[in-house]
Each structure stands twice: as structure tokens, then as C-alpha cells.
């Protein structure tokens, strides 16, 4: 994702809620109430990152991984002890992360201009770094469908300077790809998107949602119908016009709600917003920093982990993340 913006307005630092319900959580529609645990509050798990991205939960190890792009590292937060350590450095400017259906880490790397898989023994396998003989741009975010196929976005953000990648010229259009990890056959499933960014499937995998982060005049959340064969998209449409908001990475819960990283250095926008399947904004979680991406985790997949600029936050919610995010 793109660099965090600066903001000159004086803002208070992090202050955990001292009472319930946490005032950082707002129901914007009655239907959000069922997801709001009134005896749960936003917690800050770690800070000191430079630009947090790509959180992914490892339930088998009870830990969270999170990219810290400019610092060239992936950090690890342990649920049992709260310990924070470096999982990988250098990370090749890793951005988005997910797990495949065999539990292996799949990572988008700006620096390597590639998508990789970390094997059980720690070896890194390059899944894709070119298409039709041209290097990828800077793979950004990734999800894995139930058939094992890997879907990822490839904007140019990591090529624009030496802060989140290596400055270079683009060789290929900004596309969304579907990769078969067994045959290594890749296809373009969406093109003509202005800055393709975060992506996720609906719980039944009949819809793919996609962030258009360079939309004119505003960012948008797009929606596509997934073909019955599961490998093509059609019926591109605007699901949400973000207006002044800045959707980035997001995940979908089991009821089909979209939990979206949001904000641009504005206290009225920074945090997470929740959209119902009909596109209505129903809830908001205010954070003191812009949230770039998030994931569900915890034993019951009911803990929301939010990668927000220089920190990682968490909140228990009364839903669960859909499988595959």
C-alpha cells in the first residue's frame, strides 16, 4: 500500500479505554449492534513500526505476523506472552500476507516484485515474478480461494521510490492475477483498475471485492461476480464510493460484512469502518492512526487485528472472519 500521509493537526496519543463500552466503537446502524461486544475494548499490542501492513494469523502457533514495509521486516506478536520479535529480516519489502489452504505463508514482496510461499521448513519458494516475460510491478495484497488458487493485486506503489521498495520503471499494466500454485499458470482476472489494492471474497466466494485506490475522483470498493468455474470475473461495479475515505486492506466476516482499513491522517476517518453486504456503512472503530490492513484471528477467529501506521491494535468482536483471508 502507499505511504502514510503526514498531518499537521495536533492529535492525542494512544489512550486505552478506561470504561465500557469503549467510546472508540460506534454503531452507525442498528444492525452493527450484534457484532459489538460491549465488554471489549481496543488494545494496542505493539508500536514502533514504520508502516504496518499485511497482518496474518497463525492459529496453530498462536501468533500474528505483520509486515513493516520500510523497515524491511516482518514482525511476530505472540498471543500467550505478548512478546514481539522479528520473524524475517530483510523481508524484501514484504507487504500483503495470507496463508494457503495448507497453512503456508504466502507473501507479496515489493522488493522482489514477486509472490512467494514459505515452506514448512522455512525455504522460500517463488510462485510468480513475471507475466508473459515482463516483471511484475510490486505485488500488494493476496487471498487464497478454497480451490487453492492465489489471487493478488499488482499496482506500482513499490516502484515509486526507495522507501517501500526499489525505484524502477513499470514493465506491465497494473492487474489482478489468479495463480494456480500447482501448474504455475497465471491469468489476468481484472484489468483497467486504477491502483488495485486490497481484495477479498464473499463467504460463498461468489463475489470478489477489490479496492481501487487511485480511483478518480475518489477511491472505490469494486465488486465482481465470480464465474461458476471459479476462475473468471464479470459484472464489474462500484460497491462503495469511499468519498473522503481511503479504503486500503480489508477482510470479510462470515456474514459477508467488509471490515475495512480506513483513514488518511484525519481523526474523523482513521481506523476501521464496516460495510454490510448491501454496501451500507454500519460501524466504525476509531484509532489514533490510519489503518492500512487487518485480519481476523484468535482461537475462534473473533479477534480483529488492525495494522495501523506505526502500531498494531486488536479488538474482540461478535463475529468470525471468513475462511481464506
Residue for grid cell 463475529: 319
Please give the Cα distance from 194 to 186 (Å, whole number): 21
Strand, helix or coil for residue 2: coil
Q: What is the pTM of this model?
A: 0.95
pLDDT at 164: 98
pLDDT at 13: 80
pLDDT at 182: 86
pLDDT at 2: 39
Q: Which of 17, 24, 69, 21 is nearest to 293 (CA)?
A: 69
Superfamily of domain 25-316: TolB, C-terminal domain (2.120.10.30)
Could you tell me which residues are beta bridge partners of residue 75?
Answer: 66, 86
| Cα–Cα distance list, 122 to 104, 106, 229, 230 (Å) | 10, 12, 33, 30
pLDDT at 11: 52
Please give the Cα distance from 86 to 102 (Å, whole number): 23
Q: Which residues of the chain have pLDDT under 70?
A: 1-12, 265, 325
pLDDT at 268: 87
| The dihedral formed by the CA atoms of 183, 186, 189 and 190, expressed in degrees to the nearest 10 | 160
Please give the Cα distance from 158 to 150 (Å, whole number): 20
Residues of 44-82 as b/e, b for ≥16 C-beta within 10 angstroms?
bbbbebbbbbbbbbbeeeebbbbbbbbbbbbbbbebeee
pLDDT at 8: 36
Could you tell me which residues are beta bridge partners of residue 261?
Answer: 272
pLDDT at 325: 66
Please give the Cα distance from 313 to 72 (Å, whole number): 20
**Grid coordinates representing 171?**
514493465
Radius of gyration over every alpha carbon of the chain, rounded to an integer in angstroms: 18
Amino acid at each position: 500500500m502507499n505511504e502514510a500521509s503526514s498531518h499537521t493537526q495536533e492529535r492525542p496519543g494512544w489512550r486505552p479505554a478506561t470504561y465500557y463500552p469503549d467510546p472508540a466503537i460506534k454503531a452507525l446502524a442498528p444492525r452493527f449492534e450484534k457484532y459489538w461486544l460491549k465488554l471489549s475494548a481496543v488494545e494496542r499490542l505493539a508500536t514502533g513500526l514504520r508502516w504496518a501492513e499485511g497482518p496474518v494469523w497463525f492459529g496453530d502457533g498462536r501468533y500474528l505476523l505483520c509486515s513493516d514495509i520500510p523497515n524491511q521486516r516482518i514482525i511476530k506478536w505472540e498471543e500467550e506472552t505478548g512478546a514481539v520479535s522479528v520473524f524475517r529480516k530483510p523481508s524484501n519489502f514484504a507487504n500483503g500476507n495470507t496463508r494457503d489452504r495448507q497453512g503456508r505463508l504466502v507473501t507479496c514482496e515489493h522488493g522482489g516484485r514477486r509472490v512467494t510461499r514459505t515452506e514448512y521448513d522455512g525455504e522460500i519458494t517463488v510462485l510468480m515474478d513475471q507475466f508473459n516475460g515482463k516483471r511484475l510491478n510490486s505485488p500488494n495484497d493476496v487471498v487464497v480461494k478454497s480451490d487453492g488458487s492465489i489471487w493478488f493485486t499488482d499496482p506500482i506503489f513499490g516502484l515509486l521510490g526507495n522507501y517501500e521498495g526499489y525505484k524502477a520503471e513499470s514493465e506491465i499494466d497494473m492487474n489482478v492475477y489468479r495463480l494456480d500454485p500447482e501448474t504455475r499458470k497465471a491469468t489476468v482476472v481484472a484489468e483497467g483498475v486504477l491502483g488495485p489494492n486490497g481484495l477479498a471474497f464473499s463467504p460463498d466466494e461468489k463475489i470478489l471485492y477489490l479496492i481501487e485506490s487511485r480511483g478518480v475522483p475518489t477511491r472505490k470498493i469494486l465488486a465482481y461476480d465470480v464465474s461458476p468455474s471459479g476462475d473468471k470475473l464479470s459484472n464489474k461495479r462500484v460497491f462503495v464510493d469511499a468519498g473522503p475515505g481511503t479504503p486500503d486492506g480489508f477482510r470479510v466476516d462470515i456474514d459477508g460484512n467488509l471490515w475495512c482499513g480506513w483513514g488518511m491522517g484525519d481523526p474523523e476517518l482513521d481506523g476501521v469502518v464496516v460495510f454490510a453486504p448491501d454496501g451500507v456503512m454500519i460501524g466504525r472503530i476509531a484509532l489514533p492512526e490510519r489503518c492500512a490492513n487487518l485480519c481476523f484471528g484468535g482461537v475462534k477467529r473473533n479477534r480483529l487485528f488492525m495494522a495501523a501506521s506505526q502500531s498494531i491494535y486488536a479488538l474482540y468482536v461478535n463475529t468470525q472472519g471468513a475462511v481464506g483471508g
